[in-house]
């Protein structure tokens, strides 16, 4: 089948690769603009663009699709499907009407739960026991289209958002191929708006740890912020990033550091967290044990 693919981050790479490997004719790839990254702010192409160029697939990076400037280009591809996976832009009605069959979206949650930009992270942050991927028909509203297929996976007690990204990317690619293969026999299901929740994009300022909360809620919060933007707190006046923690039952003044089995730990509003992997400001990632060996607690 002829496909126009729209996607941007690493999550979308697995779906594009699956389409290529399955022999679909990917006529064009639309992705977001190259962005400066790292301390040196080097202009870096999105992962989807890198993969498309490896296969000499034409890549387009329009600022918007809403002005109609890309409509003729997409129409010239004569796509059977437009496939969207974490593209980051809404498709206007003019684009939705172009493909012969449909615009199909691969979304990293069990819709209608977690519509929006960060469904994977919020499923971890909120301590959910399971999540999954959904394929859906695209509509003008954000993730509001009719559901096609869904596939569930458990969220383990140590899963980070990064772990889940990798797993759901592969599941989404598999579900996408099944959706396209079975498309004519799938009966789309309307979403129940009463069950819909929103997963807003994460920002750096949202990652500060509030130790007045209970340890049981902070542990998934920290896992959901990993690998980005990474949870942090101020320790001795400097920012300390936290990548991995373990809950313990010790109690004390919320926010106060203490030693637990040779590792740095912090009391919470209820219980405490052992800081298993951290990164001091301007330092390297290390275990809480290694940090404490070089920085013993005062008093």
So what's the pLDDT on residue 299?
Answer: 60
Q: What is the pLDDT of residue 195?
A: 96
pLDDT at position 38, please? Answer: 79
pLDDT at 220: 98
Question: Are 155 and 123 a contacting pair, CB within 8 Å?
Answer: yes
Q: What is the DSSP string of the chain?
A: -EEEEEE-SHHHHHHHHHHHHTT-EEEEEE-PPPEEETTTTEEE--HHHHHHHHTT--EE--S-STTSTTHHHHHHT--SEEEEES--SPPPHHHHT-SSSEEEEEESSSTTSSBSS-HHHHHHHTT-SEEEEEEEE--SSTT-SPEEEEEEEE--TT--HHHHHHHHHHHHHHHHHHHHHHGGG---B---GGG--B-PPP-GGGGB--TTSBHHHHHHHHHHTTTTT-EEEEETTEEEEEEEEEEE----STT-EEEETTEEEEE-SBSEEEEEEEEETTS--EEHHHHHHHSPPP-
Q: pLDDT 10s per residue in the chain (299 long)?
A: 999 999 999 999 999 999 999 999 999 999 999 998 877 889 999 999 999 999 999 999 999 999 999 999 999 999 999 999 999 999 999 999 999 999 999 999 999 999 999 999 999 999 999 999 999 999 988 999 999 999 999 999 999 999 999 999 999 999 999 999 999 999 999 999 999 999 999 999 999 999 999 999 999 999 999 999 999 999 989 999 999 999 999 999 999 999 999 999 999 999 999 999 999 999 999 999 999 999 998 76
**What confidence score (pLDDT) does residue 40 get?**
82
Complete domains list, the chain, with CATH = 2-195 (3.40.50.170), 204-294 (3.10.25.10)
Instruction: Give the dihedral sign, CA 1/54/29/198.
Output: positive
Residues paired with residue 235 on neighbouring β-strands, in sequence order: 238
What's the rounded Cα separation, in Å, for the pair 276 and 129? 23
Find all residues with CB under 8 Å of 185, minimum gap 6, and list them: none
CA 65 to chain CA centroid, nearest Å: 23
pLDDT tens digits, one per residue of 46-102: 999 999 999 999 999 999 999 999 999 999 999 999 999 999 999 999 999 999 999
Which bin fits 297, alpha (ψ -120 to 50), beta or left (φ > 0)? beta
Amino acid 39: pLDDT = 78
Taking phi over 0 as left and psi of -120 to 50 as alpha, with beta for the rest, 56 belongs to: left
pLDDT for 37 = 85
């Amino acid at each position: 089948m002829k496909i126009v693919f729209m996607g941007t981050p690493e999550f979308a790479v697995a779906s594009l690769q699956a389409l290529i490997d399955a022999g679909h004719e990917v006529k064009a790839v639309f992705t977001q603009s190259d962005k400066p990254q790292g301390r040196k702010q080097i202009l870096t192409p999105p992962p989807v663009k890198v993969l498309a160029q490896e296969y000499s697939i034409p890549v387009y990076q329009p600022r918007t699709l809403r002005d109609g400037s890309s409509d003729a280009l997409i129409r010239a591809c004569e796509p059977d499907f437009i496939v969207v996976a974490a593209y980051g832009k809404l498709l206007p009605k003019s684009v939705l009407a172009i493909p012969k069959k449909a615009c199909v979206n691969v979304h990293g949650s069990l819709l209608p739960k977690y519509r929006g930009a960060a469904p994977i992270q919020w499923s971890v942050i909120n301590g959910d026991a399971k999540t999954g991927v959904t394929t859906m028909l695209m509509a003008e509203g954000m993730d509001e289209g009719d559901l096609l297929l869904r596939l569930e996976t458990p969220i383990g007690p140590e899963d980070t958002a990064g772990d889940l990204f990798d797993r759901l990317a592969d599941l989404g690619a598999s579900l996408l191929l099944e959706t396209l293969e079975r498309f004519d026999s799938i009966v789309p299901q309307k979403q129940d708006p009463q069950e819909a929740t929103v997963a807003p994009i994460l920002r750096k300022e949202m990652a500060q740890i509030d130790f007045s909360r209970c340890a049981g809620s902070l542990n998934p919060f920290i896992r959901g912020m990993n690998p980005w933007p990474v949870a942090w707190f101020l320790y001795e006046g400097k920012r300390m990033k936290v990548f991995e923690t373990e809950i313990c039952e010790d109690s004390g003044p919320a926010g106060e550091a203490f030693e637990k089995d040779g590792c740095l730990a912090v009391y919470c509003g209820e219980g405490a967290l052992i800081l298993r992997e951290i990164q001091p400001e301007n330092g390297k990632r290390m275990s809480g044990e290694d940090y404490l060996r070089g920085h013993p607690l005062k008093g």
